[in-house]
Amino acid sequence: MTKNLIKQILDNPEHSVKDQALIKKAYDFAAKAHAGQKRKSGDDFIVHPISVAHYLSQIKMDAATIAAALLHDVLEDTYVTQQALKKEFSDEICFLVEGVSQLKKLKHLSRKELEHEQNQRLRKMFLAMAQDIRVVLIKLADRRHNLQTLEFLNQTIKKRKAFETIHIYSPVAARLGMGELKGELEDLAFPHAFPGEYKELMGKVKEKYREREKYLTRVKNTMEKRLRKNGIVPIDIHSRAKHYYSLYKKMIQENLDAQNVYDLVAIRIILENTDQCYETMGIIHKLWRPVPGYVKDFIALPKSNGYQSLHTTVFCERGKIVEFQIRTPDMHHHAENGVAAHWAYSEAGKPEGSVVADHKELNWINKLREWQSRSPNEFVESLKIDYLSERIFVFTPKGDVKDLPAGSTPIDFAYQVHSEIGDRIASAKVDGKIVPIRQELKTGQVVEIITSKNASPSRDWLKFTKTAEAKRKIRAFSRMTG
């Protein structure tokens, strides 16, 4: 099996002869270093780094990332020293391997310590992202494979890894726009983090599975016929149950029960260009009545992680509720692979017919698109400088990440947590110390807001806020009170 996977990695036609030589060298080096080591599953240890590298090659990462993935455990788990690695590999590769090892230093912790540690680790992740995003991508791929082989570990470790994944790794994947990986990580963690809830949900969902498949096939056929009549030949129509963990969260948040599970299934239509996307949405709305409030144009207004697509939820055949996601192949690729997709493009050049949103409020991933034309090194540099100088990551005392524009203050933070907290902010603690609420926040800080019933926003605050949300709420409040 290992031979097969490594062959698939090497056979990627996008790799140059030099790339292949590098990957082969990293593989030989890692295989030698890990020789004789076994995984808990009984497999040879080398299966693990190969699987991690294989995933990264599938999402089209560059050869340096793949080589570093093959080497990612040698410093931590073998006798190989930093010096020995440096002798054989470039600074770039060593930097990536060391970066992953840094993120790895785990300790066994009590539950309470774990909460604290979670903040630390999230911070580490985001700071690593600042240095080189590829370090984090390797780490995510590492976690993915460890979860796939979690069954061989004991109960306590399983649970801890599952929680860590849901609280740390999946938010990071989401932040990077890697929707597919995020869903995958959560689904792998779900049964271990919440076994009871998982069982219950699976019971409900599986029952309906066949019925739902039949129904969706019918809807797809109707859809396709109607599109063809209008001269549109879709590149692909596929339906797919949403990821189980996100389905579980949605059911809890919106207080749904399994009866409504239909709207938790999306039909995706992939079309040649943006015009066809809009046209198709019109055709769907002529066929079936849209549910008010569920028509979303993420093409004109991409999500903050760069996601683009048209969404609509309709009362479909027999009155059932179905969501449609309409997008071009380029948008689809981005939706699945996020920042990794940008990497691939930065190397290979933009695909033909790619849609670059020209909306003014381009978020950071869209900015990355502009940088595609630059060399990979420049790309990483600009990621460090431009992106991180424009956004900051701060944390709630519970370890949730808030992503704010640079220059944001505790006032912005408070409004991002909840508008009522913003309206009632009295003072703020940063890393445990009281600070003025107009003080600028910095990446990595833990922010705690202290509220008071007697506090209220002042128009003055507009000068000390960066987010549109905070400004809007402050204005609304001062209008209300005259």
- What is the identity of the amino acid at 292? P
Q: Under DSSP, is residue 295 helix (H, G, I), strand (E, B) or coil? A: coil
Give the number of residues written for the chain. Answer: 482
> Cβ closer to Mn ion: 73 or 323?
73
**Which residues between 227 and 256 bind Mn ion (CB under 5 A)?**
none
Residue number of the CB atom closest to Mn ion: 142
Stretch that binds Mn ion, among 32-40, 67-75, 161-169, 441-449 (CB under 5 A): 67-75
Q: Is 73 in the site for Mn ion (CB under 5 A)?
A: yes
What is the token pair recorded at 472? 């809007």
272 catalytic residue (yes or no) = no
186 catalytic residue (yes or no) = no
Q: Is 263 in the site for Mn ion (CB under 5 A)?
A: no
**Which residues between 123 and 152 bind Mn ion (CB under 5 A)?**
142
Q: Pick the catalytic residue from 44, 76, 279, 403.
A: 76
C-alpha distances in Å from residue 128, one per residue of 99, 124, 479: 7, 6, 43
Stretch that binds Mn ion, among 19-27, 39-47, 70-78, 270-278 (CB under 5 A): 70-78
- What letter would DSSP give residue 431? T
Give the contact letters, 320-359, x = binds to Mn ion (CB under 5 A), - = no: ----------------------------------------
Residue with tokens 């030989």, as numbered in its chain: 28
Extract long-range pairs of 251-254: CB within 8 Å, 24+ residues apart: 251/201
190, 247 in Cβ contact below 8 A?
Answer: no
Q: Least distance from C-beta 139 to Mn ion, angstroms?
A: 9
Cα–Cα dist 357/369, whole Å: 9
Burial of 173-197, coded b for 16+ CB within 10 Å and e otherwise, reads bbbbbbbebbbbbbbbbbbbbbeee
Is beta strand 289-290 parallel, antiparallel or unpaired with respect to 433-435?
Answer: unpaired
The arrangement of strands across the sheet holding 433-435 comes to 433-435, 425-430, 447-451
216, 222 in Cβ contact below 8 A?
Answer: no
> Cβ closer to Mn ion: 142 or 412?
142
**Which residues between 397 and 436 bind Mn ion (CB under 5 A)?**
none
Q: Least distance from C-beta 52 to Mn ion, angstroms?
A: 6
Q: Is 164 in the site for Mn ion (CB under 5 A)?
A: no
> Cβ closer to Mn ion: 106 or 468?
106
Q: Least distance from C-beta 401 to Mn ion, angstroms?
A: 24
Q: Least distance from C-beta 145 to Mn ion, angstroms?
A: 7
> Cβ closer to Mn ion: 48 or 332?
48
Tell me which residues are annotated as active site: 76-77
Contact footprint for Mn ion (CB under 5 A):
73, 142
